[in-house]
Amino acid sequence: MNYEIKTLLEDVRDGNITVEQAIHELKTAPFKDIGYAKVDTHRSLRNGVGEVIYGAGKTAKQLIGIISTMKESGQNQILITRISQETCEEVNKIHSLTYYKEGNLAIIGNIPPANGKGTIVIATGGTSDIPVAEEAALTAEFLGNSVTRLYDVGVAGLHRTLAHIDDIVDASVIIAIAGMEGALASVLGGLAECPVIAVPTSVGYGASFCGISALLSMINSCANGISVVNIDNGFGAAYQASLINHH
């Protein structure tokens, strides 16, 4: 990718193409087709962040091929979500990575220094929500954000939430992660002036319907400024929070 961009810029310099044509090429540049995957090598140019690999359902051999293609295109910082430790061990024989068991993800390269405007607070209703929270926290850090973790501060003991009121009111974005009835998002939305991104989790007994109960509660929250992502989608919440924290 770096060679292609260099060639394109040289063409602009030499008058072979216009600036507008070069911009069009950069925005519409395609992908690399490796048979089982079409690797988006220009995503960072369009979106500011390189492609992230969703690891679930992919074999170690497929992941190795995708990672190799991304590296060949100049992307050396790579996030892989929903990947097992066993698969990581196979991939690690070819590509050095760091596996984070609690977040069920792996990172190739280093987590960069934080360069966002403020702090992203990640709060969970209970300890059982931590796997989703760690996916969110590590993703946010990978994307260059300072993160504060507030775990097990659910509404069953509201004093636990209020004990962290300074962190809550000082946050630039809050990610509220909860299962059961999902009430934590409404409480935090009523305490903070910043955007709150709610993540329903599949934690709970039968009538929670694997997170649907929390999802509906969060969607129907009477607190203002709350948006909701899919069930257990810590990655999606962190990506949205990072966009907010960098603008």
The CATH code that applies to domain 119-245 is 3.40.50.1970
Task: Give the Cα separation of 82 and 156 in Å (integer).
Answer: 30
DSSP for 32-57 reads: EE-SS-EE-TTHHHHHSS---EE-TT
pLDDT of amino acid 28: 66
pLDDT of amino acid 3: 57
> Please, what's the b/e burial string for 190-228 (b: 16 or more CB within 10 A of its CB; e: otherwise)?
ebbebbbbbbbbbbbeeebebbebbbebbeebebeebeb
Where do the domains of the chain lie?
A: 46-108, 119-245
The count of other CB atoms within 10 Å of the CB of residue 118 is 15
Instruction: Name, in order, each residue with C-beta under 8 angstroms of 224's C-beta and a sequence gap of 6 or more.
Output: 189
The answer to whether the CB of 199 falls within 8 A of the CB of 162 is no
pLDDT of amino acid 1: 46
Helix-strand-coil split of the chain, %, nearest 5:
45, 15, 40
Q: What would the pLDDT profile of 75-102 be if each residue is shown by its tens digit? A: 889 999 999 999 999 999 999 999 999 9
The answer to whether the CB of 194 falls within 8 A of the CB of 174 is yes
Residue 239 confidence (pLDDT) above 70: yes
Specify the pTM.
Answer: 0.87
Q: Which pLDDT band, with edges at 50, 70 and 90, does 73 fall under?
A: confident
